[in-house]
Structure 1
Amino acid sequence: MRKTINAAIVQAAPVPLAIDHGIEQLVQHVDKAARDGAEIIAFGETFLGGYPLWLDEASDAAMWDHPGTQALHRIMLENAVVEGDQRFAPLQELVDRHDVMVSVGAHERRRSSLYNNQLLFRPNAKPLSHRKLVPTHGERLIWMRGDGSTLKPHVAEDGSVIGSLICWENWMPMARAAMHNQGEHIHVAAWPTVRESYSVASRHYAFEGRCFVLAAGTIQHQSDLLHGLELAGGNAAAHELLSAMDSKQLQSGGSQIVAPDTSILAQAGSQSEIIIAELDMEQIGEALTSLDTDGHYSRPDIFELSVNTKAQDGVVWSDS
């Protein structure tokens, strides 16, 4: 494994709903970060499509048969990425050319349901998916639950291990234990905003997992949602719902890069910016001297975790 890796977080406003436009913007961000020397580049939760802020900010969004909520769901389904999506070809070409990795959140469609997916784009390989296991609270109005088949991290050619969890998954003790067991060196913790409690979770993950954590947030205003809706074709009921939201800044970044000792190597403010830090990979082995939660600081004779990594498709077609 290399002794140092340059890591970056691109903290920016998404193009909500209109994912074609979002991918174009994503490519521009990745190109800039790669030219600045980044080798792994992280974006926040559902950067492609934008975090569905109306769930929290529009008081009527959860009403049964709300026409604005229904219209937004249809628009999200129509724009969502799919497995093998050809719209990612320019991004993959950029990843291959710069020899970088890119972790980005997206709304993904599988059959007729939406998933919250944190995709890892890798040089000369298919993107690696991690679908959020438990949508939180109002998010269950939009996203289906993921399964254990996407809990696998990426193992790079140099041996470095890169994984991710999304938002409150970073507070799921057994999900963390499963990731620690796979020896992460770099962990992407994807958040909408890295508020104080989310910073605590990210720094705790770094200490517990003896790894570097890229806690990636985004920024978003009501005006971003209204603009994205227009780009996605518009809808009067959806526009009315989004217009009822507060016009203040609704996501405020706060991204940070954290070392295994919980020290913050780079910290973003509340506006658009790229933060970058050189990760000294030797710190991981040094930190493991005192704590290895998957090894010498575990008690497998007392505690045992079983992880089901089989895809839960619900319907199994068989010739037999």
Structure 2
Amino acid sequence: MKLKVCLIQDSPVFFDKEKTMQKVEELCIIHAKAGNQLLVFPESFIPGYPRGFTFGAKIGSRSEAGRDLYLEYYQNSFELGTADQERLERLCRDLKIYLVIGVTERYCKNGSLYCSMLYFSPKGLLGVHRKIKPTGTERLIWAEDSGKSLVSFDTKIGKLGGLICWENYMPLARMAMYQQGVEIYIAPTADARKNWTATMQHIALEGRCFVLGCNQYFKKSMYPERFQEEVSEEPEEICNGGTVIISPMGEILAGPLFGEAGAVSYEIDLDQIIKSKLDFDPIGHYGRDDIFQFHVLGQPKIKKEE
């Protein structure tokens, strides 16, 4: 089966959920009209990845100004089960697309924020992956989730799954995806280093899957004026992109795109996955179940699209 995929390397309207949602809608319309069936947006695209922000926190103390900033971030974050979800479901239904998008999620059950990856089909929400380990000081603003968040989906366009940013450096988290037979491995990120491309190639070779690595392109000047002091020490090109599509043999099919906003698109052929497994299959003839046992606590079985 052949499938046209499109990765959106762009910028949100920072800390403004409504305007960012409008931008998502506009971009989806453009790229759906170009024949793309699966669209992917970067990590925390709604309402933005707060690179350079301290939220007024030091070890042993937090400032009131930092708490105010966190409140604003919270108020502009995405919430499932509300009009936010309905809006993206309607978009996917109208355009007949699959959509995977990174959001900061306001989780109604406990009041915390999560760095989440939402999966939508033309019929609605498939599910959500919440980052199981935020990196560094991301832990200040994002909670971490359990094995129940290591989701995957058996859809009409292939088996979808993936991890966010530096979760992809967790070998056992990757294996949790491989063991579900993921064919299209989606990796939204905020990492714009050139060696991130090598990470994406390694995962494709290791997992024998297509890898879609999607990042933002963002300049410091895109922050509203009132946030400029927060990021005064950051370079102007604060996130340089690097969005890329990799084959199951580790070959770069499209991208990496650096230095500009844009989209990376390619028609992938899922038959290449089977062909690649002649040499290597991490859950098949290279699995050695007679030696190794692997079990993930709480991981759900792959969910079949209705």
Fold conserved between structures, TM > 0.5:
yes
Does the CA-based 8 Å contact 1:10-1:275 persist in structure 2? yes
SS for the counterpart of 2:14 is coil
Deviations 1:149-182 (CA, angstroms, capped at 9, x unpaired): 1212111135x10112000111111111110011
Q: Where does residue 136 of structure 2 map in the other structure? A: 137
Q: How far 1:60 sits from its partner (Å)?
A: 6.6
2:97 paired with 1:109:
no
2:281 paired with 1:292:
yes
1:265 partner amino acid = L
| Contiguous gaps of at least 5 residues in structure 1 | 230-238, 312-320
Q: Where does residue 122 of structure 2 map in the other structure? A: 123
Does the CA-based 8 Å contact 2:52-2:234 persist in structure 1? no
1:304 partner amino acid = Q
Does the CA-based 8 Å contact 1:219-1:252 persist in structure 2? yes
1:89 partner amino acid = E
Q: Where does residue 316 of structure 1 map in the other structure? A: none
Does the CA-based 8 Å contact 1:27-1:90 persist in structure 2? no
SS for the counterpart of 2:168 is helix
More strand by share: 2
Deviations 1:210-257 (CA, angstroms, capped at 9, x unpaired): 111110000122232226x6xxxxxxxxx4742534351100111001
| Contiguous gaps of at least 5 residues in structure 2 | 301-306
Q: Where does residue 77 of structure 1 map in the other structure? A: 74
2:211 paired with 1:223:
no
Q: Where does residue 234 of structure 2 map in the other structure? A: 246
Number of positions where the alignment pairs a residue of Structure 1 with one of Structure 2? 296
1:34 partner amino acid = A
Cα distance in 1 for partners of 2:211, 2:235 equals 32
2:101 partner amino acid = V
Does the CA-based 8 Å contact 1:266-1:275 persist in structure 2? yes
Alignment equivalent of 1:255, drawn from 207, 219, 243: 243
Does the CA-based 8 Å contact 1:4-1:278 persist in structure 2? yes
Q: Where does residue 31 of structure 1 map in the other structure? A: 29
For the aligned residue pairs, the C-alpha RMSD in angstroms reads 2.0
Does the CA-based 8 Å contact 2:55-2:70 persist in structure 1? no
Normalising by structure 1, what TM-score?
0.87
1:26 partner amino acid = V
Does the CA-based 8 Å contact 1:23-1:88 persist in structure 2? no
Q: How far 1:127 sits from its partner (Å)?
A: 4.1
Are residues 46 and 200 of structure 1, via their aligned partners in 2, closer, same or farther at CA, if it must alter by over 3 Å? same
Are residues 253 and 243 of structure 1, via their aligned partners in 2, closer, same or farther at CA, if it must alter by over 3 Å? closer
Does the CA-based 8 Å contact 1:54-1:61 persist in structure 2? no
Cα distance in 2 for partners of 1:129, 1:119 equals 5
Cα distance in 2 for partners of 1:243, 1:278 equals 38
